Structure 1
Amino acid sequence: MTKYLSPYVNRDLSWIEFNRRVLEEAQDARNPLLERAKFLSIVSSNMDEFMSVRVAGIQDQMRAGLTKTDFTGYTPAGLWKRLIKRATGMVFEQYRSYRDVVRCLAKEGICIRTVEELNLTQKKAISDYFHEIVFPVLTPMAVDQSRPFPLVHTKELYLAVLLKRDEAIEEEEPLFAIVQVPSILSRFVPVQGRINSKKQEFVLLEDVIEQFIDTLFNGYTPFAVNPFRLTRNADLTLNEEGAEDLLEEIEKELRRRRWGIPVRLEVAKGMHPFALETLREELEIEDNLFEIDGPLDLSFLMRFVGSLPGYDNLRYEKMEPVYPREFDDSDDMFEVIRQRDVLMYHPYESFDAVNDFVLQAAYDPDVLAIKMTLYRVSGQSALVQALAKAAEAGKQVTVVVELKARFDEERNIAWARQLEKAGCHVVYGLVGLKTHAKILLVVRREQGTLRRYVHVGTGNYNDNTATLYTDIGLFTSHPVIGGDASALFNEVTGYSSPYEWKAFGVAPTDLREKLFRLIDRERENALAGRTAHIIAKMNSLSNQDMIDKLYEASQSGVKIDLIVRGVCCLRPGVPGRSENIKVYSIVDRYLEHARVMYFYNGGDEEVYLSSADWMTRNLMKRIELMCPVFDPGLRMILINMLRLNLEDDVKARELKPSGLYERVASRSETPFRSQFEAKKIQLWKGHA
């Protein structure tokens, strides 16, 4: 039997491997060129969040003197060293890929240049742009005895400037100043084209500022200008039980986040030693220094690609979401849902149906109440507008807004205030628990009785991400699901005794135990010599008890297929422990976000939709929801979706016992790409 250091893969090291898979998409020449640039942007954004939350948390443990190993066998200090080594290697690869992408873009007529590379006419245009647009918003900040080191905002781009007085003596120490590159302006500046050239040319804003930096320091000579960027600890530390007003407490924490402890310092390669030492001393950051050979923070590439008109040959083929055809033949969505459950698969099917459902409920005189959860909402949410209209029309509207959704706190606070102003009852969830469940309940009066209409989903009520993420939504008027939905809202919004769920599994009360029972049922079938099979699709798997339960099932002969996009702490394929488990990850055009669970159940197959990943935080520290799909036809559609993922041999990688991923080998002469095949959903749903 092969021996491994630990039965488990470390969560954070597994995350690094996930981001490496994203980077591989940027490196894959089979992907359209502009899409490769977008993947480079995603790698940077992912790394920012990882550093500001996960690495920051490990540093907190190290400062607290913790030396205990986690369940994967790592101490905080040992894990930190391993993470920084792998992250450093990834950043090196990322910028090598960036240079390759830039070279390829130049061949297509999209050129990112330095100011020095421009001709005289172009330099004149850039000079005009600087003096008319950029110069008025710049604020040079000197550092000396009378002016202390200024606040450096997290994840903002700055220039460190070293200066000499024009009359300075040779041995005099340089003067130090910083200039923030204004994020209110576009990071990429278009340059008028050269004569008889069809190329589109751009320069970066920091390069423009550096070119004219002397205009900010009259009487001084800048002799070194180097970009830098700081990442701070962004985790909120809330005293929810002691807070009289959770909204005010979160607003205070958001202000404190600006002063979070420095976690990572990124500097341009070749930074002047005096400037670097000054930054490290003032910011009190000794380790976690990244020297970058290229522009800092490649997340700007997402907007850059989005701003380029045309070039359809360098992008994915456009895919317009179709409106669910179940609703095409009727103006009354309630009538349709009364007759049958409706499944939606985003982004192939439009999220507009959810917006329309709430809007119809807002204006329907027979609708008495609307209740829903909001976790991450888009900037211009049609849903929020519809809820406000419903409240203004006299409906009882209750909205559970999760204020602690990381990095969306400010937006959610704004939505909460807008909803309250419109007359909605806004609830901020339960103390100590994030409300992550995705559920919408409409109570309607029909023929002297009340009927409940429910929408449950695997993703957020966000029309923007619904075009970028793969998620499942289910409309139903099933009375058992409606009863559970009412009970769930009663538990979240008021005092309610523990409820015996008829259909739902709800965290943190019984979701984990229900999953354990379903896994144990497959295990018992396997031990009895019957076919036993589990397919589970999710974003992350890291809960130790859940992993042990899956190991136990594997050892009993249960076939287990896991489709885990990101973190996976389970080590598959180990003889005697997990030889019956396979783990796949798909990274492609859309972010795989759906959580779907399948249990063979002796041939009486069961399928569940869920908001929860199999992580400790989801199973124990959040309000999460798992809902069965009762309709046999819809169950078969979801089983087909899972099989599509398992058949992917283009964008799927398989997790090996080593903890590393390998691309799935081609199974036939015709490559099979599950996200492209998923376009056939309308055929599966009987709408050929």
Structure 2
Amino acid sequence: MTKEISRYVNRDLSWIAFNRRVLEEAQDPATPLLERAKFLAIVSSNLDEFMSVRVAGIQDQIKAGYIKKDFSGYTPAGLWKRLLRRANQMVAEQYRTYREVARGLAKEGISFRRIGDLSDTQQSAMEIYFREIVFPVLTPMAVDQSRPFPLVHTHELYLSVLLQADEEQTGAGAEEEEPYFALVQVPSILPRFIQVPGRPNSKKTEFVLLEDLIEKYINTLFNGYTPVAVDAFRITRNADLTLDEEGAEDLLEEIEKELRRRRWGMPVRMEIDRRMHPFALQMLREELEIDDNIVRIDGPLDLGFLMKFGGAIAGRNDLRDARIDPVYPPELDGAQSVFDVLRQEDLLVYHPYESFEAVNDFVLQAAEDEHVLAIKMTMYRMSGDSLIVQALERAAESGKQVTVVVELKARFDEERNIAWARKLEKAGCHVVYGLVGLKTHAKILLVVRREAGALKRYVHVGTGNYNDSTAKLYTDVGLFTSHPVIGVDASALFNEVTGYSAPHDWKAFAVAPTDMKDTLFRLIDREAAHAREGRQARIIAKMNSLSHQDMIDKLYEASQAGVKIELIVRGVCCLRPGVPGLSDNIRVISIVDRFLEHSRIVYLANDGDEEVYLASADWMTRNLTRRIELMCPVFDVRLRKVLINMLRLNLSDNVKARELLPSGDYQRVTNDLTPLRSQFEAKDISKWRTLL
């Protein structure tokens, strides 16, 4: 093993290891069956994005003849081979797990059935459903000299159909050199699974997959022809946007054009039924120009449909995780005005255990309050029916100054954000698309209010998006404050993003790409100096990913100086902990559980004068150098203790935590202590709100 490889774990191989941890949740017998099905869906959706962005980028490098090694020691070609091998191994394991979960559900009376296995009454009901609901939506697309190969959309399910003409079409005794070829798209507008009417005196719940139903009656689409082979397939296209932001007169229009071009991105992966007819496969290879990364699937393609499957099962709470109902923050419960509360104290909200309604109410009250003059916020990913957007529209229509920094380049949410931008502009909001070359990923909301003849600022800073849907699925932290220093920095940040403004002398914030990395380096160096002098020195940092080489090297330096470093990194981690003489003092754990760990929190012991920061940024190159990110200190001593409790709870997890070993592998944390599952402990708010 070379020196470079021994120091760092490759980013993409680390991601594969992360998705394996997600798969382990689907494989865990202790996980309820419907939750196991959900994790199988997450594995599929994760892999789709990985292939369309990361693997597509590596493929582009190979085609361009790029042979330089990355900082972990891999060339694009060498990495490509390893990624495909490990991804294909994972997919095979995923489908073995799918069959195991399906058997378990069948024992519970819940099953997917083939049409031929249904009773006559059930088959008749399915035929009616096909004729009345499915058939009118289907479009057979023949491929021949007069009809070119149609556009195959990324991540959509298709059926390839081989046909033989009936004698009336060819003439008796005529011989065909090769079969006719056609495609049928499985319409994503219809449910992927259809519940079958129950059998008499049976409590079983049975479903049929849409593609199986279409295959059963595929002959109705091709009168005069006989189907000889029907095979499912699905492609993943290169989905990376290539924008000339500086040359674009209108960024919104440029992104819309690029989204249209994305439909024609080169295929980077094709999933096919393992029994696909050789002729059909050859046709697809030639027409789609794909030779590598063709994956034979033993089961239904795209298990992403399982994400919605649990919702189709009435009752059966025994097959789900216990419900957790978000609690409204007690400080706001019963208060007439959120502003009255925040004038007296800062407030911390921990989602999903505490309700996102607190954030919605903050904006709703600001929109209705006659003393509020301005509302400014960033928008990265919003839910489909956002109360915040509705409140901003009302605020603008009532004459308030409303400014929204909408990130149009939020990957795979571009179209939704374009729609939000136009909606907000129509209502009279000032909509800004951020700075050229940078994504605006900071999560901040500023309310300016007139009070007693002066202006007062109220700020919300978060680790997650202003999205009430994901706030029920992700763990994130939000800080409400009226601290004047934070308020001044918040105004300065919006001025820099929306107008011409010289770099601000930040008093509280650290902002990427200008100074966040330098601030973090300074804080880490300070802990190292404390350690060398024998003073209290400790770093705890929680994030989604860690892949910035200079940041990793800085942590190695601090470890060598004697700083105890504990990292809670859910996903990619390129740092290699526990290497003698390099990272002896560094421990890395990853927690994968029912909620997606999304918080970014940094704690520093600072010789007893503890500091805690909330951030929007992971420690990745893109976040620290190519995005507008925000890191905010928590000044309230009481709230700092609460955040430290949250981190300690994570570090104590010995049920869902995996520890990163020096080899780059992960193993479950095991010890003789009482089992502690941090996400379940956190639902008892006293576990982390109790001050130490």
TM range (shorter): over 0.9
Conserved in 1, the CA contact under 8 Å of 2:44 and 2:303? yes
Match of 2:685 among 657, 661, 681: 681
Matched, 1:19 2:19: yes
What's the offset of the Cα at 1:666? 2.9
In 1: Cα distance, 2:644 partner to 2:534 partner: 23
Distance 2:362 2:195 in 1: 43
Match of 2:131, as an amino acid? H
CA distance in 2, matches of 1:414, 1:71: 40
Aligned equivalent of 2:556, options 551, 554, 565: 551
| Equivalent pair of 2:682/2:688 in contact (CA under 8 Å) | no
User: What is the aligned counterpart of 1:392 among 366, 388, 397?
Assistant: 397
Residue 609 of structure 2 corresponds to residue 607 of structure 1? no
1:432 aligns with 2:448: no
Deviations 1:564-612 (A, max 9, x none): 0000000010001001101000000100000000000001000000000
- The question of whether the paired residues in 2 share the 8 Å contact of 1:649 and 1:667 is answered with no
Q: Is the 8 A contact 2:165 2:226 kept in 1?
A: yes
Task: Find 2:355's aligned residue among 333, 336, 350.
Answer: 350
Letter in 2 for 1:308: I
Aligned to 1:41: 41
Taking the TM superposition and a 5 Å limit, the aligned residue runs for 1:118-129 are 118-129=118-129
The residue aligned with 1:464 is: 469
Contact 2:4 2:73 in 1 (8 A): no
**1:523 corresponds to which of 521, 528, 540:** 528
Between the two proteins, the alignment pairs up a number of residues equal to: 686
In 2: Cα distance, 1:684 partner to 1:556 partner: 31
Pairing 1:443-522 to 2, within 5 Å after superposition: 443-522=448-527
1:108 and 2:108 matched: yes
In 2, are the aligned partners of 1:14 and 1:569 still within 8 Å (CA)? yes
CA distance in 1, matches of 2:503, 2:601: 26
Compute the displacement of 1:201 (Å): 0.5
CA RMSD of aligned residues (A): 1.2
Per-residue CA deviations over 1:17-75 (Å, capped at 9, x if unaligned) read: 00000000000010111000000000000000000000000001011110000001000
- Aligned-partner Cα distance in 1 for 2:227–2:366: 63
- How far apart are the structure 2 equivalents of 1:621 and 1:684? 34
Answer whether contact 2:159 2:184 (CA < 8 A) is retained. Answer: yes
Q: Matched residues in 2 for 1:524 and 1:684: separation? A: 30
Aligned amino acid, residue 531 of structure 2: A
User: Distance between the aligned counterparts of 2:464 and 2:85, measured in 1?
Assistant: 34
AA of the residue aligned to 1:36: R
How many Å separate the matches in 2 of 1:2 and 1:348?
A: 45
List aligned pairs for 1:584-603, cutoff 5 A.
584-603=589-608
Corresponding letter in the other structure for 1:63: K
- 1:682 deviates by 4.5
**Residue 314 (structure 1) aligns with:** 319
Q: How does 1:35-74 map to 2 (within 5 A)?
A: 35-74=35-74
Aligned equivalent of 1:640: 645
The 3-state SS of whatever aligns with 2:6 is coil
> How far apart are residue 2 of structure 1 and its match?
11
Match of 1:298 among 296, 300, 303: 303
Identity %: 75
Residues in 1 aligned to 2:335 and 2:24: alpha-carbon distance in whole angstroms? 45
Question: Which letter maps to 2:350?
Answer: Y
Q: Give 1:258's aligned residue.
A: 263
Question: Is contact 1:650–1:666 with CA below 8 Å preserved after alignment?
Answer: no
AA of the residue aligned to 1:657: P
Q: By how many angstroms is 1:171 displaced?
A: 5.0
Cα contact 2:462–2:478 (8 A) shared by 1:
yes
SS of 2:244's equivalent?
coil
Following the alignment from structure 1 to structure 2, what is the Cα–Cα distance between the partners of residues 642 and 221? 63
Q: Give 5+ residue unaligned stretches, structure 1.
A: none
Aligned to 1:672: 676
AA matched with 2:82: R
Q: Secondary structure at the match of 2:46?
A: helix
Which of 572, 579, 583 is residue 567 of structure 1 equivalent to?
572
C-alpha distance after superposition, 1:235-269 (max 9, x if no partner): 11111001111111111111111101111000001
Q: 2:228 aligns with which of 223, 228, 242?
A: 223
- In structure 2, relative to structure 1, the CA distance for the partners of 1:173 and 1:2 (3 Å cut) is closer
TM-score with structure 1 setting the length: 0.99
The 1:323/1:286 distance shift into structure 2, 3 A limit, reads same
- 1:212-291 equivalence runs, <5 A: 212-291=217-296
Gaps of 5+ in 2: none
How far does residue 295 in structure 1 lie from its aligned partner after superposition?
0.1
3-state SS of paired residue (1:325) = coil
The one-character-per-residue Cα deviations of 1:530-564 (angstroms, maximum 9, x if unpaired) are 22110000000000000000001011111000000
State the Cα distance separating 1:81 from its structure 2 match. Answer: 0.3
Alpha-carbon distance between aligned partners in 2 of 1:679 and 1:551, rounded to the nearest angstrom: 35
Deviation at 1:407, TM superposition (A): 0.4
CA shift, 1:314, in A, is 0.5
Per the alignment, in what secondary structure is the counterpart of residue 628 of structure 2?
Answer: strand
Partner of 1:589, secondary structure, is coil
Structure 1 counterpart of 2:179: 174
Retained in 1: the 8 A contact 2:649–2:688? no
Q: What displacement does 1:686 show? A: 6.0
**Alpha-carbon distance in 1 for matches of 2:620, 2:600:** 12
* Matches of 1:307 and 1:340, distance apart in 2: 44
- Tell me how far 1:307 sits from its aligned partner: 2.1
Q: Which residue identity does 2:22 align to in structure 1?
A: V
Output the amino acid matched with 1:289.
Answer: I
Q: Given the alignment of the two structures, is residue 337 of structure 1 paired with residue 342 of structure 2, yes or no?
A: yes
TM-score, scaled to structure 2: 0.98
**Distance in 2 between residues matched to 1:67 and 1:24, nearest whole Å:** 34
Corresponding residue number in structure 1 for 2:382: 377
| Residue in 1 that maps onto 2:79 | 79
Instruction: Give me the whole-angstrom Cα distance separating, in 2, the residues matched to 1:480 and 1:681.
Output: 29
Deviation readout 1:448-494 (Å, 9 max, x if unpaired): 11110000000000000000000000000000000100000000000
Q: Distance in 1 between matches of 2:415 and 2:397?
A: 24
Give the match's secondary structure for 1:160.
Answer: strand
- Matched with 2:634 is 629
Asked if the contact 1:341–1:631 (Cα under 8 Å) also holds between the matched residues in 2, the reply is yes
**Counterpart of 2:415?**
410
- Return the offset for 1:330: 1.3
Whole-angstrom distance in 1 between the partners of 2:525 and 2:358:
38
Partner secondary structure for residue 326 of structure 1: coil
Which of 199, 211, 217 is the equivalent residue of 1:194? 199
Which residue of the other structure, out of 179, 188, 194, is the alignment partner of 1:183?
A: 188
Contact 1:2 1:575 (C-alpha < 8 Å) held by counterparts: no
- 1:470 and 1:591 in contact (8 A); partners too: yes
The answer to whether structure 1 residue 206 and structure 2 residue 199 are counterparts is no
How has the CA–CA distance of structure 1 residues 16 and 567 changed in structure 2, closer, same or farther, with 3 Å as cutoff? same
Where 1:186 maps in the other structure, the secondary structure is coil
Please give the per-residue CA displacement for 1:174-222, whole angstroms capped at 9, x wherever unaligned.
1110000001110001111111110010010000000011111111110
Quote the Cα distance in structure 2 between the aligned partners of 1:423 and 1:3. Answer: 58
Q: In the TM superposition, what is the alpha-carbon distance from 1:6 to its structure 2 partner?
A: 3.2
Cα shift at 1:309:
1.5
Q: Which amino acid aligns with 2:114?
A: T
SS of the counterpart of 1:6?
helix
CA distance in 1, matches of 2:613, 2:545: 17
1:155 aligns with 2:155: yes
Post-superposition Cα deviations, 1:267-311, rounded to whole Å, max 9, x if no partner, equal 001110000011001000010000000000000001111222211
